[in-house]
Structure 1
Amino acid sequence: MSEHTPFSFSPEHKDGVYEAIYKRRDMRHFKPDPVDPELMAKLLHAANAAPSVGLMQPWRFIRITDQALREEMHLLVDEERHNTAEALGERGKEFMKLKVEGVRECGELLVVTLMDRREGHIFGRRTLPQMDLASVSCAIQNIWLAARAEGLGVGWVSLFDPDKLKSLLKMPDDSLPIAILCIGHVEAFYDEPMLEQLGWRQRGQLDDMVMENGWDADKAERSHQQDK
């Protein structure tokens, strides 16, 4: 039973937060039904409410509404899919059997990017400049959890050449695409993450991820064993 404080949500609201977290899935199978514009606006507002270092809000969102552009993006993803399979060596053939994106099928396609002129933001980034990337990841997670609560699926696609996608979308040189998000209606959510269902990889145990007062080499090694 969780501890109650004066600032706790109601039990029902707390249950809803945890349900969204544990039932979130990286979806690859979508129905072509369009996403209601008001609902899409709610998801983007949720993303914009994410925490960011120095309140710099480094995220920029590019909605893809042109079908021809969507097809070009699909080709970029497919190109990287083959390159990844080659890099995986003996697991390449197994990888090629996986469905890794729903760029063509999803109702809404969104490219999440890092802003340009980021070097001007020093607060929280002087020694850790990658904190802008961490902030964008928080915005993506907000979209994901809000979408799950609304019954929509989200798939994070990272199989693309960033420079080629930047060129395709006419982005500034000092900006960077981070994710292609497939968003839309689904027939059903996976009972467990798809890569677990298909035997590609199993989720590691929390005990191997939590260390105390310093680095635990034994735990770190155990967490790496599934990569071998």
Structure 2
Amino acid sequence: MSADAPTFAEVYPGHPEPQFEPLEFIRLPPGETLARAEAFYHEMNARRTTRHFNCDPVPQEVIEWAVQTAGTAPSGAHRQPWRFVAVQDPALKARLREAVEAEEYKTYTGRMPGEWRAALAPLGTDYVKAHLTDAPWVIVVFREKYGLDADGKRTKNYYTVESASIAVGLLIAALHHAGLVTLTHTPNPMGFLSELLGRPKNEEALMVLPVGYPAPDATVPRLARKPLKQIFQVDLGESSAGPVEP
């Protein structure tokens, strides 16, 4: 095998060559690129997580467009190992809330170590999850641990947690851009969600996101995001000895 430029046949013996098409891309002037980057930051910086939802309905089409946006995420070997279950039925949301609260009660009253409790204290969360029934939609995101072909045989997926997590990030951005609010919720354990929502054995719940409009009296914790200098470094920073101290 050539070390400089191996052929496709050398790297993937026995496989047909992939098909490619021209990239559709419009290169913007530098000034517009900068303006778009800054504008998008300001839009997303206005995003906040709230636990107080209005019960007003949100059209299913809005949810579908947001999920389609999430589905544009890159994924390991393009396996697209994500599934989105959108729940709007009040009775099903009530069952979902009951099951989640049962697990969360155990967490808050026994499982939660002191360090975790201290980290959550500024957020004031508890085991009561009214947002799961108040919000008009609850989206449960599943990662496909492995695929199943037509004969039920397993096919391997790659980087499923990373891929599905990227999709969740795009979903959150799409929902905010559409004028909605959401909350990332990860009850632990989450195995009951697969059974409750009738999902196959090769899927595992990753995250729960209530979606809707904020309640008129909605509040959010008084928090500050880390400044750029604490989350960003160019090359070796100010010192080659290691990361720059905040």
Task: Please give the range of the TM-score, normalised by the shorter of the 2 chains.
Answer: 0.7 to 0.9
Say which one has the larger Rg.
2
Give CA-to-partner distance per residue, 1:192-221, whole Å, 9 cap, x none: xx45x2x7xx755655555766995996xx
Contact 1:59 1:115 in 2 (8 A): yes
Identity %: 21
CA distance in 1, matches of 2:174, 2:145: 27
CA distance in 1, matches of 2:78, 2:88: 29
2:36 paired with 1:13: yes
Q: How many pairs align? A: 204
What is the identity, as a one-letter code, of the residue corresponding to 1:30? F
2:199 paired with 1:176: no
Partner of 2:191: 163
Give the unaligned 5+ runs of structure 1. Answer: 126-130, 223-228
1:87 pairs with one of 111, 117, 137: 111
CA distance in 2, matches of 1:174, 1:15: 41
Contact 1:25 1:189 in 2 (8 A): no
CA RMSD of aligned residues (A): 3.5
What is the identity, as a one-letter code, of the residue corresponding to 2:177? A
CA distance 1:7–1:158, change in 2 (3 Å): same
CA distance 1:159–1:9, change in 2 (3 Å): farther
CA distance in 2, matches of 1:171, 1:215: 50
2:133 counterpart SS class: coil
CA distance 1:79–1:5, change in 2 (3 Å): same
TM-score by length of 2: 0.68
CA distance in 1, matches of 2:197, 2:45: 34
2:67 pairs with one of 5, 24, 44: 44
2:144 pairs with one of 109, 115, 130: 115
CA positional deviation for 1:111: 0.9
2:132 counterpart SS class: coil
CA distance in 2, matches of 1:115, 1:8: 41
More helix by share: 1
Partner of 2:214: 186
TM-score by length of 1: 0.72
1:120 counterpart SS class: strand
